[in-house]
Structure 1
Amino acid sequence: MMDNSDYCVLSVQQILGNWEKEKEFLLTQFNSRKKEGVKESMNISIDSFTHLLCKVNKREWSNLNEILLTDNLDYKPINLYERITFIQKNPSSYHSYIQLGLLYDELAKQYYKNLAIQRQKK
């Protein structure tokens, strides 16, 4: 398990790569109807998403609730607060897994779109 300082040195691509590994593990667990490790993996993935959110928005890491309360992020998925609150309350739920995957996908798309725009400006 990674702690907060480990995420600080990871790039956006590394965080997304870690999510892909966690996503595969979670999918396997849900498909086989096993719950072992699901809650822990989901909590790690939620924490990882928080770090990704900070990296994409060029902010220092802070806890997710603090980030959501300030609500001044340039890049964030639609209805982030409602969706992440649902995921946090139900980390072992398949629907939470699906929503978390969608949050990662939406944020990654915004990040890569912004990178492409910045490259065109140069």
Structure 2
Amino acid sequence: MNWNLEDGEAINFQQPFMYELAYYCNISMLQPWNSIEETIPCLIEEWKLLKDKVEQLFKMRNTKEVTEPMKQGIALFIQLLHWSNGLPVCLSPIQYEQLTIKPVNVKERLEFILSRPHLYHSFIQLVELMTEMEKQWFKVVAINKAKQ
């Protein structure tokens, strides 16, 4: 299936890393890391919706159901981390040194979240990482527009 933003198709975040899977299998599909000005805002909006859902689960102390949406949030962050740098996600292992746009201590912070996705502290850390990435991405966009 081809996802094409110009044709009005919506980017799909329900299947994490499906665009990278297609890319590494040489299947013609949207490459969101090549059109970040269109895809990153969509990803950020998806995160905001998911964040509200996870926040509600923690408020209701429903820790059994929080792991899956947290994994979705982690996947969104990993996509944001790579796509903001114009790269497809590579998970084995993440090449942090190739990423110029990234939060401080991202490797250690992400490892903490990945090892304990069900904890509230992991959620708070994920929120902070997403916020930092969003700020850095908007800063890069602003600098690029100023250069033009």
Structure 1: stretches of 5+ with no match in the other structure: none
Query: 1:57 and 1:67 mapped to 2: Cα distance?
Result: 12
Q: Does 1:110 align with 2:123?
A: no
Percent of aligned pairs sharing the same letter: 29
Count of aligned positions:
120
Q: Please say if residues 56 and 75 of structure 1, whose CA atoms lie closer than 8 Å, have aligned partners that are also in contact.
A: yes
Query: 1:6 and 1:109 mapped to 2: Cα distance?
Result: 24
Name 1:83's counterpart in structure 2.
Answer: 109
Q: Residues 102, 85 of structure 1: CA spacing in aligned structure 2 closer, same or farther, 3 A cutoff? A: same
Larger Rg over CA atoms = 2
Name 1:2's counterpart in structure 2.
Answer: 15
SS of corresponding position for 1:40? helix
| Superposed counterparts of 1:93-104, under 5 Å | 93-104=119-130
Q: Please say if residues 16 and 75 of structure 2, whose CA atoms lie closer than 8 Å, have aligned partners that are also in contact.
A: no
Deviation at 1:66, TM superposition (A): 2.4
Letter in 2 for 1:118: N
Letter in 1 for 2:102: K
Runs of 4+ in structure 1 deviating by more than 4 angstroms, as ranges, are: 6-10
Deviation at 1:25, TM superposition (A): 0.6
Structure 2: stretches of 5+ with no match in the other structure: 1-13, 21-30, 33-37
Name 1:63's counterpart in structure 2.
Answer: 91
| Superposed counterparts of 1:14-25, under 5 Å | 14-25=42-53
Q: Normalising by the residue count of structure 2, what TM-score does the alignment of the two structures yield?
A: 0.75
Q: Give the alignment's Cα RMSD to 1 decimal.
A: 1.8
Higher relative contact order (CA 8 A, sep 6+): 1
Q: Normalising by the residue count of structure 1, what TM-score does the alignment of the two structures yield?
A: 0.90
Letter in 2 for 1:29: L
Q: Does 1:46 align with 2:59?
A: no
SS of corresponding position for 1:35? coil
Query: Structure 1 or 2: larger helix share?
Result: 1
Deviation at 1:6, TM superposition (A): 5.3
Query: 2:106 and 2:123 mapped to 1: Cα distance?
Result: 15
Letter in 1 for 2:104: I
Deviation at 1:116, TM superposition (A): 0.5
SS of corresponding position for 1:77? coil
Q: Please say if residues 90 and 96 of structure 1, whose CA atoms lie closer than 8 Å, have aligned partners that are also in contact.
A: yes
